[in-house]
Amino acid sequence: MHLTLKFLGDISREQVEAILAALRTALSEQPTLHVHAQGLGAFPNLKRPKVLWAGLRGEGLVILQEKVESALVPLDFPREDRGFTPHLTLGRVRSLRGWEQVFAVVRQHEHAQFGDSAIDRVTVYQSTLRPDGAVYSPLGTVPLQQA
């Protein structure tokens, strides 16, 4: 599981070190965050679901995302047009067949509490899409300050 702070698209190996350097600078004083997973939902909505998610809440999440966003603008990564919605992707909906059962579970856990976790690093991942799902390979990590 991971929280996407910024989707970079296709990048070259040469860009990875510049990205990590920019993140090290931007996050040099960023403390570890404590987050809480709460609620289930779907993007774009429950009537036309494409992505099933668990929500994340926690002080500083939006600030962390903005620091990442701002650090990468000088490297020609444009700002995201959509607002930031902290979430963990649980799965992708490829078909609405059987959705009624999933929908019932989502509605039952719309406000459920799932637990707490710490965000103590930002990692740049390479995502390789395969028929059985995405495979994520870390390209580099920037640790956050321990609180």
Write down the mean pLDDT value for the chain: 95
Residue 104 included in any domain: yes
Q: What is the pLDDT of residues 41-94, one digit of tens each?
A: 999 999 999 999 999 999 999 999 999 999 999 999 999 999 999 999 998 898
Residue 2 included in any domain: no
Radius of gyration in angstroms for the set of CA atoms belonging to the chain, rounded to a whole number: 17
> 147, 126, 123, 122: which is closest to 137 by C-alpha?
126
Residue 1 included in any domain: no
| Number of domain units in the chain | 1
Residue 8 included in any domain: no
Query: Which ranges of the chain does DSSP label H, i.e. alpha helix?
Result: 13-26, 61-72, 99-108
Structural domain containing residue 127: 13-143
Residue positions annotated with a catalytic role? 2, 87
Residue 71 included in any domain: yes
Residue 129 — pLDDT band, cuts 50, 70, 90?
confident
Residue 3 included in any domain: no
